């Protein structure tokens, strides 16, 4: 058996098809769809939302659904006016309304995900072999117990029939049958109870399994891939579906058990039919109602592409006024501008114009569906359900002696035909949904194989290391005619940039905001791929260096840094995961980053969470702030709580200043200050949130730890570092405008000198 780690991150099964691509779904007036929906929301007429609130993304009903969908073509689309909404849906072939055709189509669509469902079943069995075995055994027993119960019911009926005919009751046989029937019912209840106890445990294990799997899939993505909208959409969809993996597999099991149950019940019903001439007629009559109901059931969700477009600007304005009055971010302007009366009057006027059509799309759809609920077949449904009773009444007139027998026979047949038809309908629904379940499982497994936009170097590429007999030195960096634009944009942020930073040099990159200072550092770490030109690291094309080796040789602090929702200790330790347990190293990194003083002042010091990913909860405390069990809670009035109508509260996060946040990020960077693998230090605006004294102390520490390493700083503050720089790159208009030392650039009286003098002027006493 595979180890859990091997089990967890296997690739797709051989021959498995690629993951599904997003598409859309179809119907008359749809429910909030299980599939993707194109909706023009009421607050943004010109934009598209992928699906409505409360719904979840899903796979299309057809692989070609929505392709070439033209709402303006009446031959291929149908238009329905829903008050302030114009609803267009793709016309589907009438044959698609036939239940058997729908089931067949959905099943064939789901077959592409069958290999992944099989893989999921094997994974789940490995996670909980005993529990899954118990679950499957109980499910199989539960499936045949209704048929067993039906069989013994028919036997009781046969004993009664014999008693009527012979005027003698076989008491012993009747008791045995009754006991057997009771045991069958009891065992069915026991199996149901066992399944209810076992299923949540299996579900929790599966959720934990996929939580780790999804985290692994997220963690392996590079920056441009993670920022890709399609990838993010897929990841968000899969993250929300992870809890449904077990449910999807359970549905697969249910198909098998339901088929077994239907087969067993059909055999017993066949036996009943063969025993009595009237039974066949009663079975047929009893099936007319359920079959007609099933056939006549309206399509509850779209079968193809659809779009809902707002057609009333007064309704749009109503929703805008409502947001102004109810959303917090507009409150200051509303109060300061005395807009209360204006908003109320304008909302009333717009509401009067819209009238009863003032409904969001889903309300309008529900209203229309209720309005169109009646049709001739639905009106005749009670008659279809009463057909067996009508036949029974005619039978009683013809042979009144057999009324008790016919009554028992009618009750038995109707009861079991109803059960059979319900199971058949349930089976059809599960089979219809299994296509979506299988494709959901396929998406879940396929995320681990999302290709990164930045390809790694070939597997045989040499790491970025120095020979053993060579002393440590910094990295050499060269840009050769590098041009770059961010993915999805057309504007170059770097154009034909060329420069060379020699090993061990201190380089400062300066320039106005938007001059691509930060972008240059990101390219050195190959967070993005250049569009033109090449970058050389120690004379090697950066694309031939393994990504792990490249980033292992560099320590970086970005301007748009983030601190993790973990303890301060772990925030700092993650600067060097290999030394995450070295407390002395963590303390020294905090000192170098200037964070020791504020950390020591915190209640829990190094164990403090600045932002807790899991909040402690409290309720029924009353309005205001409360301190309980070492946590501060801020509760407000409202009706959220389960008891007493008191709104619950969450523990408050620790508030620290921007400067303290930056010191913590610096400390994380300094975790690698004694790491021999680090040959390049890069700091992107390292003092942006620091006060002048803290900035001065920081730059002193950075200069002291320079050694033989290469150091690159990007900054808009001059003087603190530029005077000590071996090389200054002054960027302007996506290019290197000037390069040289401080004295050289000041002597040229160019852009650098101009910017330096502007800053220096503020400190001259003669200004």
Do both 297 and 401 map to the same domain? yes
- Residue 275 — very low, low, confident or very high, per pLDDT cuts 50/70/90? low
Domain final residue pick, 449, 464, 495: 449
Q: Is residue 647 part of a domain?
A: no
Q: How far is CA 54 from the centre of its chain?
A: 13
pLDDT at 648: 45
pLDDT of residue 28: 37
pLDDT of residue 410: 64
Whether 681 and 743 map to the same domain: the answer is: yes
Please name which of 572, 551, 564 lies closest in space to residue 666, comparing C-alpha atoms. 572
Percent of the residues in the chain that have a pLDDT greater than 70, as a whole number = 63
How far apart CA 490 and CA 487 sit, in angstroms, is 8
Query: DSSP letters along 652-677, please?
Result: PPPP--HHHHHHHHHHHHHTTTT-TT
In whole angstroms, give the CA distance from residue 654 to residue 662: 15
- Band (pLDDT 50/70/90 cuts) for residue 373 is low
Alpha helices in 297-380 (DSSP H): 313-326, 331-336, 340-354, 361-371, 376-379
Of the listed ranges 145-154, 446-455, 758-767, the one predicted with least confidence: 758-767
441: in domain = yes
Of the candidates 237, 224, 718, 110, the residue with the CA atom closest to the CA atom of residue 489: 224
Question: In DSSP terms, which residues pair with 543 in a beta bridge?
Answer: none
Per-residue pLDDT, 68: 62
Rounded Cα–Cα distance for residues 424 and 427 (Å): 5
Q: What is the pLDDT of residues 244-268, one digit of tens each?
A: 677 777 777 777 777 777 777 777 7
Considering the domain architecture, whether residues 533 and 385 belong to the same structural domain is answered as no
Residue 672 lies in a domain: no
Provide the residue count of the chain.
767
Contacts of the segment 394-398: beta carbons below 8 A, 24+ positions apart? 395/278
Average pLDDT over residues 106-119: 70
What is the pairing mode between strands 624-628 and 735-740?
unpaired
pLDDT of residue 490: 83
> 328 and 295, same structural domain?
no
Which residues are CB-neighbours of 284 under 8 A, at least 6 positions away? none
Q: Which residues contact 253 (CB under 8 A, 6 or more apart)?
A: 135, 136, 139
As a whole number, mean pLDDT of residues 131-148 equals 83
Higher-pLDDT residue of 521, 270: 521
Q: Which residues contact 157 (CB under 8 A, 6 or more apart)?
A: 408, 409, 412
Residue 85's alpha-carbon distances to 88, 313, 426, 521, in angstroms, are 10, 11, 34, 50
Stronger pLDDT, 515 or 763, i.e. the higher one: 515
As a whole number, mean pLDDT of residues 33-42 equals 34
Same domain, yes or no: 406 and 538: no
Same domain, 191 and 288: yes
- Work out the average pLDDT over 52-73: 49
Checking if the pLDDT of 626 tops 80, the result is no
Contact between residue 384 and residue 292 where contact means Cβ atoms under 8 Å apart? yes
Cite the beta strand spans of 55-165 per DSSP E: 77-82, 85-90
Instruction: Give the separation between CA 679 and CA 87, rounded to whole angstroms.
Output: 62
pLDDT tens figures, 395-451: 666 665 555 445 566 666 666 677 777 777 777 667 767 777 777 777 777 778 788
Short-list 100, 564, 155, CA closest to 294? 100
> Does residue 57 surpass a pLDDT of 60?
no
pLDDT for 530 beyond 80? yes
DSSP per residue, 505-537: -EEEEEESTTSSHHHHHHHHTTSS--SEEEEEE
Phi, psi values for residue 609, rounded to 5°: -100, 125
Residue 654's pLDDT is what?
Answer: 61
More confident residue, 201 or 60: 201
pLDDT value of position 106 = 66
Q: Looking at the domain assignment, is residue 149 inside a domain? A: yes
User: What average pLDDT is seen over the chain?
Assistant: 71
Give the per-residue pLDDT at 236.
76
Return the CATH number at 514: 3.40.50.300
DSSP state of 461: P
Give the domain CATH number at 290: 1.20.1560.10
User: 733 or 25: which carries more pLDDT confidence?
Assistant: 733
* Nearest-angstrom CA–CA distance, 81 and 311: 10
Same domain, 491 and 344: no
Q: Are residues 420 and 515 in the same domain?
A: no
Q: Does position 293 have pLDDT exceeding 50, yes or no? A: yes
pLDDT: which is higher, 522 or 43: 522
653 falls within a domain: no
Number of domains in the chain: 3
The answer, as to whether pTM is greater than 0.85, is: no
In a domain, 605, yes or no: no
| Residues 150, 265 contacting (CB under 8 angstroms) | yes
Mean pLDDT is highest, among 41-50, 146-155, 342-351, 355-364, for 342-351
Across residues 212-220, what is the average pLDDT? 81
Does 214 reside within a domain? Answer: yes
The most confident of the ranges 9-23, 448-462, 534-548 is 534-548
pLDDT in tens, 636-691: 544 444 333 344 444 445 666 667 777 788 888 888 777 777 888 888 877 665 66
**Contact by Cβ (8 Å): 421, 290:** yes
173 and 150 in a common domain: yes
Q: 294 and 330: one domain?
A: no
Q: Tell me: do 168 and 260 sit in the same domain.
A: yes
Residue 740 host element (H or E) = strand 735-740
- Model confidence at 44: pLDDT above 80: no
So what's the pLDDT on residue 159?
74
DSSP assignment string, 359-406: --HHHHHHHHHHHT---HHHHTHHHHHHHHHHHHHHHHHH-GGGHHHH
How would you label 75-90 residue by residue, b for 16+ Cβ within 10 Å and e otherwise? eebbebebbbbbbbbb
Structural domain of 215: 112-301+377-449
pLDDT band at 360; cut points 50, 70, 90: confident
Mean pLDDT, residues 544-565 taken together: 81
Q: Let me know the angle formed at the C-alpha of 194 by 189 and 199, rounded to the nearest 5 degrees.
A: 130
CB 447 within 8 A of CB 454: no
Reduced to 3 states (helix: H, G, I; strand: E, B; else coil), residue 530 is coil
CA 315, chain centre distance (Å): 32
More confident residue, 443 or 194: 194
**By the 8 A CB rule, do 49 and 39 touch?**
yes
Report helix, strand or coil for 324: helix
Residue 58: per-residue pLDDT? 39
Question: Does residue 573 sit within a domain?
Answer: no
pLDDT at 112: 65
- In this predicted structure, what is the pLDDT of residue 628? 58
In 3D space, the residue among 579, 574, 564, 666 whose CA is nearest the CA of residue 609 turns out to be 564
Helix H or strand E segment including 129: helix 129-166
DSSP characters over 157-203: HHHHHHHHHHS---HHHHHHHHHHHHHHHHHHHHHHHHHHHHHHHHH
Using alpha carbons, select from 657, 649, 605 the residue that is nearest to residue 625. Answer: 649
Q: Are both 294 and 227 inside the same structural domain? A: yes
């Amino acid at each position: 058996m595979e180890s859990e780690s091997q089990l967890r991150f296997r690739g797709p099964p051989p021959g498995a098809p690629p993951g599904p691509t997003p598409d859309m779904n179809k119907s008359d007036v749809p429910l909030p769809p299980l599939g993707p929906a194109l909706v023009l929301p009421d607050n943004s007429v010109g934009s598209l939302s992928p699906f409505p609130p409360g719904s979840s993304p899903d796979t299309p009903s057809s692989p070609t659904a929505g392709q070439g969908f033209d709402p303006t073509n009446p031959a291929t689309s149908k238009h329905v006016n829903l008050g302030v909404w114009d609803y267009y849906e793709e016309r589907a072939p009438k044959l698609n309304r036939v239940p058997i055709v729908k089931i067949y189509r959905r099943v064939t669509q789901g077959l592409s995900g069958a290999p992944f469902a099989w893989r999921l079943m094997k994974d789940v069995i490995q996670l909980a072999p005993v529990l899954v075995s118990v679950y499957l055994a109980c499910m199989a027993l539960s499936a045949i117990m209704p048929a067993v119960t039906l069989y013994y019911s028919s036997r009781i009926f046969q004993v009664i029939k014999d008693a009527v005919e012979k005027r003698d009751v076989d008491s012993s046989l009747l008791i045995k049958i009754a006991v057997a029937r009771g045991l069958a019912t009891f065992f069915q209840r026991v199996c149901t109870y066992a399944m209810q106890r076992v299923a949540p445990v299996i579900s929790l294990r599966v959720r934990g399994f996929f939580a780790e799997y999804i985290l692994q899939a997220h963690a392996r993505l590079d920056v441009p891939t993670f920022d890709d909208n399609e990838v993010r959409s897929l990841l968000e969809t899969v993250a929300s579906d992870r809890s449904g993996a077990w449910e999807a597999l359970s549905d697969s099991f249910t198909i098998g058990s339901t088929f077994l149950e239907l087969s067993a019940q059909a055999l017993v019903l066949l036996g009943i039919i063969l025993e009595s001439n009237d039974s066949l007629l009663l079975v047929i009559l009893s099936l007319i109602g359920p079959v007609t109901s099933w056939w006549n059931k309206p399509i509850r969700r779209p079968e193809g592409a659809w779009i809902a477009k707002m057609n009333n600007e007064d309704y749009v304005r109503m929703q805008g006024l409502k947001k102004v009055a109810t959303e917090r971010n507009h409150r200051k302007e509303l109060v300061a501008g005395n807009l209360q009366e204006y908003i109320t009057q304008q909302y009333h006027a717009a509401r009067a114009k819209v009238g009863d059509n003032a409904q969001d799309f889903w309300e309008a759809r529900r209203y229309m569906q209720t309005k169109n609920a009646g049709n001739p077949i639905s009106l005749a449904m009670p008659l279809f359900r009463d057909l067996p009773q009508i036949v029974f009444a005619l039978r009683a007139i013809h042979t009144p002696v057999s009324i008790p027998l016919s009554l028992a026979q009618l009750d038995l047949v109707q009861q079991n035909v109803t059960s059979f038809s319900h199971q058949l309908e349930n089976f059809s629904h599960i089979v219809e949904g299994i296509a979506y379940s299988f494709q959901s499982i396929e998406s879940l497994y396929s995320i681990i194989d999302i290709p990164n936009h930045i390809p790694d170097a070939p597997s045989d590429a040499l790491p970025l290391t120095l020979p053993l007999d060579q002393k440590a030195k910094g990295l050499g960096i060269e840009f050769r005619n590098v041009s770059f634009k961010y993915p999805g944009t057309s504007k170059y942020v770097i154009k034909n940039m060329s420069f060379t930073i020699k090993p061990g040099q201190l380089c400062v990159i300066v320039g106005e905001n938007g001059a691509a200072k930060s972008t240059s550092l990101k390219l050195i770490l190959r967070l993005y791929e250049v569009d033109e030109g090449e970058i050389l690291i120690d004379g090697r094309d950066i694309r031939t260096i393994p990504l792990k080796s490249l980033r292992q040789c560099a320590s970086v602090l970005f301007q748009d840094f983030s601190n993790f929702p973990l303890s301060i200790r772990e925030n700092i330790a993650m600067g060097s995961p290999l030394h995450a347990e070295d407390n002395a190293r963590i303390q020294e990194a905090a000192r170098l980053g200037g964070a020791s003083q504020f950390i020591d002042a915190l209640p829990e010091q190094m164990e403090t969470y600045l932002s807790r990913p899991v909040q402690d909860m409290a309720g029924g405390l009353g309005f205001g702030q409360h301190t309980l069990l070492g946590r501060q809670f801020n509760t407000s009035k409202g009706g959220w709580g389960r008891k007493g109508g008191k709104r619950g509260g969450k523990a408050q996060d620790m508030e620290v200043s921007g400067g303290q946040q930056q010191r913590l990020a610096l400390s994380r960077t300094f975790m690698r200050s004694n790491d021999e693998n680090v040959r390049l230090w890069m700091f992107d605006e390292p003092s942006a949130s620091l006060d002048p004294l803290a900035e001065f102390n920081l730059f002193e520490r950075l200069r002291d730890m320079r050694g033989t390493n290469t150091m690159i700083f990007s900054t808009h503050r001059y003087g603190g570092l530029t005077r000590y720089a071996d090389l200054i790159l002054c960027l302007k208009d996506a290019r290197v405008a000037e390069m040289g030392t401080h004295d050289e650039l000041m002597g040229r009286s160019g852009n650098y000198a101009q910017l330096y003098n502007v800053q220096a002027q503020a400190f001259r006493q003669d200004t």
